[in-house]
C-alpha cells in the first residue's frame, strides 16, 4: 500500500523502487502465502528501508482510509537506521505448532540448573495431589465425529453416539465432538447411521481417525478428566453447578436452619511429577427451609395487610439470590417474582398446555401443596440465548432452596462460628478425608468397571514433596536510638505486625490529608478507626492527621461515588471507604471509579474489621 515501508537488502533496493508495483493483497494474505527463503548473502547484509511513494504504487486498502497506512514523517527527517540495525532475519524455516502444543508449556524452567537448594532445614510436604498412571504401552485412539445434518444439542449427540455401540463398542469417552476409544476401528473414516429418537430421522455419523493418545500427550488429560466425572457419578455424588457434592453426608444445623453439603473440587493436569489429580474439600451451604417458607416468614414480620410493602421488601431481599431445585439438583438465579402467577397456571409442554401441578406430579412424582404461591422467574442467560432458549423459566418457591448466606447471616457471629466447625478443616483431618476418598475410588466395583478398560489408576496416597524450611527473615526497622535494628517474629504464627508496633519505620511517609467516607449510622465505628490509626502511627514514627470526613445519609453506591467525587482534590493521599457490609457491587463501583478517574489509593473496610 502507498506510504508503507518495505524492508529490503542493498541488492534489492533498485528493483524495489523501479519495478512494477506489487499486487494488492487481502487481509488474509499471510495465511496461505508462500515464503521465499533469503540467500546467505542477503542474510548477512544489513537491512535498509526503501520508502514507496504514492506515485510508485497506486494501491489502496482499508487501513489507508483510516490513516493507518500513510507514511509518518520522522522527527529528524532521516531514516532511523540505528533502530533498523537491531532487526535481523532468521534463516530457520517457519514451522507451525501442533494444535495442542500451543496450550502446553513445554519448558517452564531451566533444566540445566539444579532446582534443589541448600538453605534451610530439609522437610517433607504433603500436597492434596494424587498420581494418575497409565501403562506406557497402552494406546487410546482419538476420532473426530461429524453429524449430517448438523446437530447442535449436546444431549442429542450423546444419544446418537450411544446408539452406535455395535460399531464403536461400549467403552468410549465422548465430549460432543471428539471421541476416544480403546480400540482401533478398521477404517480411517467410518460412516454409520443412527436414529434420532423424537422424530425417527436417520442421522449420518462420520467418525474420522485423528491420532494415537498416550499418557504423555495432552489429549490424555482431557480423557482422564472426563473419566473422573463418571467416577464421581458412580459414587452417587450430585453435580451442582461446577462441582460434585454428596447429599448423603449433609450436616444440618437446625438452630440456624442451614445445611452443609460436603463435596470435592477436582482437576487433573500435567505437572513436573507427572499427571496429577488435584482434590480439595468444598462445601455447599443450603437453607433447610424452602423459598416459600422465607416468604411467609418475611410476611409475618411486616404489618398485616400492607401487600405493597411486602412485595417491595421481598424483591429487595430475594431477587438476585441463587436457588437449588432438589428434584434435579440444578441452580437458578431469581431475576423476578411473578406475584400474579400460580401453580394452577399452564405452560406448553410437548405441544399441549400442562399445569405446573400436573407436570411435577407426572414428571417428578411431587405433590404441590400450596396452590396460592407466586412463581419465581429465571430469565435466559446469554449462553441460553445462543443455544436457542429465549423463554423465561418459572419455578415454584415450594420446591426451591436458597443457597449461600445472606448478609445478615454473614454478620452473625454465632452462625459463622457454628459453620466453621464443619467447613474449616485442619490439615490432618483434611488429609485423612482426601485419602479415604481416593481409597473409596480405588475399592469401588462400579469405578473399576469405568477405569478398568482404560487401564487408568489413581494413587490413594497423597503426593510427598521434598522441601526446605527457611528461618524467619529479619525486618529492618529504626530503633529507639535512631539506628537500624532487626525485628524478628514467630514463624509459626506468620504475624509480624505485633513486633513492629514499638519500632519506627526507616522512612515514614506522613499522612497529612486523607479522606474518610462513611454512612451516618457507622460514625461510632469510624471514630474508633481514626483513633486507632493515630495511635498505631505514632508508635511507628508515622504522623496520621485527622481525616477529612464525608458523612453520607445512606449506603447506596451512588452516594459513595458522589461523596468521593465532591471531596477529591490533588492533595488527598488516600481514600478510606467504610461500608456496613462487603457487597461486591459497591466494592467494584468504588474501586473502579478511584482507579480509573484518580491516581490515589483507595481502601474499603467494614466495621467487623
Query: pLDDT tens digits, residue range 195-238?
Result: 988 888 899 999 999 999 988 888 999 999 999 999 999 999 99
For position 488, what pLDDT does the model report? 84
* pLDDT (mean) for 431-453: 94
- Average pLDDT for the chain: 81
The lowest-confidence range among 179-188, 328-337, 515-524, 577-586 is 577-586
For position 102, what pLDDT does the model report? 46
Helix, strand, coil % in the chain, rounded to nearest 5: 35, 25, 40
Neighbours of 291 (CB within 10 A): 24
Q: Residue 111 pLDDT more than 70?
A: no
Residue, of 475 and 59, whose pLDDT is higher:
475
Report all structural domains of the chain as residue ranges with CATH numbers, in order of start: 5-23+37-85 (no CATH), 139-213 (3.30.70), 471-505 (no CATH), 508-605 (3.40.50.2300)
Q: How far apart are CA 456 and CA 231, in angstroms?
A: 12
Cis amide leading into 149 (omega within 30): yes
What confidence tier does 55 reach under pLDDT thresholds 50, 70, 90? very low
Q: Residue 605 pLDDT more than 70?
A: no
Burial of 599 (0-12, 13-18, 19+ CB in 10 A): exposed
The lowest-confidence range among 2-16, 302-316, 336-350, 416-430 is 2-16
* pLDDT (mean) for 544-557: 91
For position 604, what pLDDT does the model report? 62
Residue, of 201 and 91, whose pLDDT is higher:
201
Neighbours of 49 (CB within 10 A): 14
Burial pattern 304-320, b for ≥16 Cβ within 10 A else e, equals eeeeeebeeebeeebee
What confidence tier does 409 reach under pLDDT thresholds 50, 70, 90? confident
* pLDDT (mean) for 394-411: 90
Q: Residue 71 pLDDT more than 70?
A: no
Q: Which three cell numbers stand for residue 345?
A: 397456571
Number of H helices, E strands in the chain: 20, 30
Q: At what angle do helices 291-301 and 307-318 cross, to 10 degrees?
A: 130
Residue, of 26 and 279, whose pLDDT is higher:
279
What confidence tier does 54 reach under pLDDT thresholds 50, 70, 90? very low
Q: Of the spans 106-115, 265-274, 599-608, which averages the highest pLDDT?
A: 265-274
Amino acid at each position: 500500500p502507498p506510504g508503507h515501508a518495505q524492508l529490503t537488502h542493498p541488492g534489492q533496493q533498485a528493483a524495489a523502487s523501479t519495478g512494477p508495483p506489487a499486487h494488492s493483497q487481502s487481509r488474509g494474505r499471510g495465511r496461505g502465502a508462500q515464503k521465499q527463503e533469503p540467500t546467505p548473502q542477503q542474510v548477512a547484509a544489513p537491512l535498509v528501508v526503501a520508502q514507496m511513494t504514492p506515485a510508485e504504487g497506486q494501491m489502496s486498502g482499508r487501513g489507508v482510509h483510516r490513516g493507518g497506512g500513510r507514511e509518518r514523517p520522522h522527527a529528524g527527517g532521516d531514516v532511523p537506521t540505528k533502530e533498523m540495525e537491531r532487526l535481523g532475519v532468521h534463516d530457520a524455516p517457519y514451522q507451525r505448532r501442533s494444535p495442542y502444543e500451543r496450550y502446553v508449556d513445554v519448558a517452564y524452567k531451566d533444566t540445566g540448573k539444579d532446582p534443589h537448594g541448600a538453605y534451610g532445614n530439609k522437610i517433607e510436604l504433603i500436597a492434596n495431589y494424587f498420581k494418575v498412571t497409565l501403562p506406557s504401552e497402552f494406546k487410546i485412539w482419538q476420532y473426530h465425529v461429524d453429524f449430517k445434518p448438523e446437530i447442535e444439542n449436546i444431549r442429542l449427540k450423546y444419544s446418537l453416539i450411544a446408539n452406535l455401540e455395535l460399531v464403536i463398542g461400549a467403552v468410549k469417552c465422548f465430549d460432543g465432538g471428539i471421541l476416544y476409544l480403546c480400540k482401533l476401528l478398521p477404517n480411517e473414516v467410518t460412516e454409520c447411521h443412527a436414529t434420532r429418537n423424537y422424530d425417527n430421522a436417520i442421522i449420518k455419523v462420520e467418525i474420522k481417525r485423528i491420532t494415537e493418545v498416550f499418557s504423555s500427550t495432552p489429549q490424555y488429560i482431557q480423557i482422564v478428566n472426563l473419566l473422573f466425572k463418571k467416577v464421581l457419578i458412580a459414587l452417587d455424588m450430585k453435580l451442582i453447578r461446577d462441582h460434585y457434592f454428596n447429599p448423603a453426608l449433609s450436616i444440618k444445623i437446625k438452630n440456624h436452619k442451614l445445611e452443609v453439603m460436603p463435596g470435592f473440587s477436582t482437576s487433573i493436569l500435567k505437572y513436573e511429577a507427572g499427571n496429577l489429580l488435584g482434590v480439595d474439600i468444598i462445601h455447599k451451604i443450603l437453607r433447610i427451609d424452602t423459598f416459600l417458607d422465607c416468604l411467609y416468614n418475611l410476611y409475618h414480620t411486616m404489618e398485616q395487610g400492607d401487600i405493597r410493602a411486602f412485595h417491595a421488601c421481598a424483591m429487595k431481599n430475594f431477587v438476585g439470590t441463587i436457588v437449588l431445585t432438589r428434584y434435579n439438583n440444578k441452580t437458578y438465579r431469581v431475576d423476578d417474582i411473578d406475584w400474579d402467577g400460580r401453580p394452577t397456571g399452564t405452560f406448553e409442554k410437548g405441544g399441549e398446555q400442562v399445569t405446573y401441578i400436573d407436570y411435577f406430579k407426572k414428571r417428578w412424582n411431587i405433590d404441590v401443596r400450596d396452590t396460592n404461591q407466586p412463581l419465581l422467574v429465571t430469565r435466559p442467560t446469554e449462553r441460553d440465548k445462543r443455544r436457542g432458549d429465549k423463554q423465561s423459566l418459572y419455578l415454584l418457591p415450594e420446591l426451591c432452596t436458597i443457597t449461600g448466606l445472606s448478609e445478615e447471616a454473614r454478620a452473625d457471629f454465632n452462625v459463622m462460628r457454628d459453620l466453621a466447625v464443619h467447613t474449616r478443616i485442619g490439615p490432618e483431618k483434611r488429609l485423612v478425608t482426601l485419602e479415604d476418598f481416593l481409597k473409596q475410588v480405588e475399592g469401588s466395583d462400579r469405578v473399576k468397571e469405568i477405569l478398568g478398560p482404560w487401564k487408568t489408576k489413581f494413587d490413594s496416597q497423597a503426593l510427598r514433596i521434598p522441601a526446605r524450611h527457611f528461618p524467619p527473615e529479619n525486618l529492618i526497622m529504626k530503633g529507639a536510638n535512631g539506628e537500624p535494628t532487626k525485628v524478628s517474629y514467630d514463624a509459626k504464627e506468620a504475624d509480624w505486625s505485633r513486633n513492629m508496633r514499638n519500632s519506627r519505620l526507616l522512612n515514614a511517609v506522613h499522612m497529612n490529608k486523607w479522606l474518610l467516607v462513611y454512612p451516618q449510622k457507622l460514625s461510632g465505628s469510624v471514630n474508633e478507626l481514626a483513633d486507632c490509626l493515630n495511635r498505631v502511627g505514632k508508635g511507628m514514627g508515622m504522623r496520621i492527621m485527622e481525616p477529612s470526613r464525608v458523612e453520607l445519609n445512606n449506603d447506596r453506591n451512588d452516594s459513595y461515588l458522589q461523596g468521593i467525587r465532591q471531596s477529591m482534590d490533588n492533595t488527598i493521599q488516600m481514600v478510606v471507604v467504610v461500608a456496613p457490609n462487603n457487597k461486591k457491587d459497591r466494592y467494584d463501583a468504588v474501586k473502579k471509579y478511584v482507579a480509573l478517574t484518580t491516581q490515589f489509593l483507595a481502601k474499603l473496610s467494614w466495621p467487623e474489621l
